[in-house]
A and B are shown apart, each in its own frame.
Chain A
Amino acid sequence: EADIYQTPRYLVIGTGKKITLECSQTMGHDKMYWYQQDPGMELHLIHYSYGVNSTEKGDLSSESTVSRIRTEHFPLTLESARPSHTSQYLCASAGIETQYFGPGTRLLVL
């Protein structure tokens, strides 16, 4: 079973607020990912990281930013939340190949 954690699990916040979604894994994986998924829709890769101090944007353009200061930690930040950011955000990590997902953060921006 994968040990990857996301907090908070649910977040309701007002427009304009700065938010940080946390993602941590205890497997020592170098590769980590952030996906965005709307209900009933496909996963969209928004950020990924090969390792410490390495971050890249994914296939879907996002106003969020990420950092990778420690191997186990890959937080995602929205400087100014908007209703269009309402979605589920899934974090994943990978060792050799297969990706393991966290439980997700459901974000609602009012």
Chain B
Amino acid sequence: QKEVEQDPGPLSVPEGAIVSLNCTYSNSAFQYFMWYRQYSRKGPELLMYTYSSGNKEDGRFTAQVDKSSKYISLFIRDSQPSDSATYLCALGEKRYSGGYQKVTFGTGTKLQVIP
């Protein structure tokens, strides 16, 4: 079983829809949680990161973490065609203070927002 599971999609939605992207994980050592957006043929771009359970909002994006259920989500409100990309969740654990931090990436969910 993979440490991080993410539905690969593709997910196709109409413009203006609310999108929900999800990841589940099995490793309790994960301490911080990130979402990246990757356009085709580009490097991943950090969208949001958070440490704690609960919601964190940034514009149209909301990251949600539920540590008790080992479940994280990214919500996109009022989705736009420019949001069409692959979204990767990434979960980090600190092996030891100041040292190597292991980050495990999900496989990514491909999102298409149709005008």
Contact at A50–B46, with CB atoms within 8 Å?
A: no
**Interface positions of B from 4 to 22, Cβ below 8 Å from A:** none
Kindly state whether residue B74 has any CB partner on chain A within 8 Å.
no
What B residues does A48 contact at CB under 8 A? Answer: 100
Contacts of B49 in A (CB 8 A): 97-98
Number of interface residues of A (CB under 8 A): 23
What total of chain B residues lie within 8 Å of the partner, measured CB to CB? Answer: 23
A106 at the interface (CB under 8 A from B): yes
Whether the pair A101, B92 counts as a contact (CB closer than 8 A) is no
Question: For residue A50, which residues in chain B have a CB less than 8 angstroms away from its CB?
Answer: 99-100
The answer to whether B105 touches A100 (Cβ under 8 A) is no
Does A75 touch B at the CB level, under 8 Å?
no
CB closest residue in chain B, given A106: B41
Taking the complex as formed, is A77 at the interface, i.e. its CB lies under 8 A from any CB of chain B?
Answer: no
Judging by beta carbons under 8 Å apart, are A101 and B44 in contact? Answer: yes
Say yes or no: is A43 at the interface (Cβ < 8 Å to chain B): yes
Residues of B within 8 A of A (CB): 32, 34, 36, 41-46, 49, 88, 90, 92, 94, 99-101, 103, 105-108, 110
Q: List 26 A-B contacts (CB under 8 A).
A: A6-B43, A40-B110, A42-B106, A42-B107, A43-B44, A43-B105, A48-B100, A50-B99, A50-B100, A90-B44, A94-B101, A97-B92, A97-B94, A97-B101, A98-B34, A98-B46, A98-B49, A98-B92, A99-B46, A99-B90, A99-B103, A101-B36, A101-B43, A101-B45, A104-B43, A106-B41
